[in-house]
Amino acid sequence: MNTTLIILSLGIALLVIVAFPRLRHKKTDGAAPPAFPEHGQKLATMGDIEKSPLALWLLDQACAQTGTDLRNDPLALTRIAEAAAKAQLKIQTSGTAEISLPFLTADVTGIKHVAVKITHEQASALRKL
């Protein structure tokens, strides 16, 4: 029984040493913000989306693919705005971006996912409009 207690104590100690420091110290190396707002973060609005032609285009694509008007869904707008910002960086570095927003919304027919691809040329055309 003593060896079981010792092994259990060592397992807990290892968990505390390895896992908890990683949870406490968040990396801020320019990574994209989390998909869901943390406590104190504000949700995106249509005003935020309208500032970015890419985000507005992505919203239109999401509405078309899901068959749902997402303009009044703050969480969906936040995820779209974040995905557009990430895609803009990806387009600048590699010339194309694949945007995937699983579980963007749901209705009585089920869960709705969005997946689109955009090239540098398409993004440039959006800025010219």
Asked if residue 120 is part of any domain, the answer here is yes
Q: Give the CATH number of the domain where residue 73 resides.
A: 3.90.640.10
Query: How much is the pLDDT for 7?
Result: 80
Residues near 69 by beta carbon (within 8 Å), at least 6 away in sequence: 63
pLDDT digits (tens, 9 = 90+) for 80-92: 999 999 999 999 9
What is the pLDDT averaged over residues 106-129?
91
pLDDT of 119 higher than 60: yes
Please give the model's pTM, rounded to 2 decimal places: 0.67
Domain that holds residue 73: 44-129
pLDDT digits (tens, 9 = 90+) for 27-54: 555 555 555 556 566 888 888 898 999 9
- For the chain, how many structural domains are there in total? 1
The chain-wide mean pLDDT, for the chain, equals 83
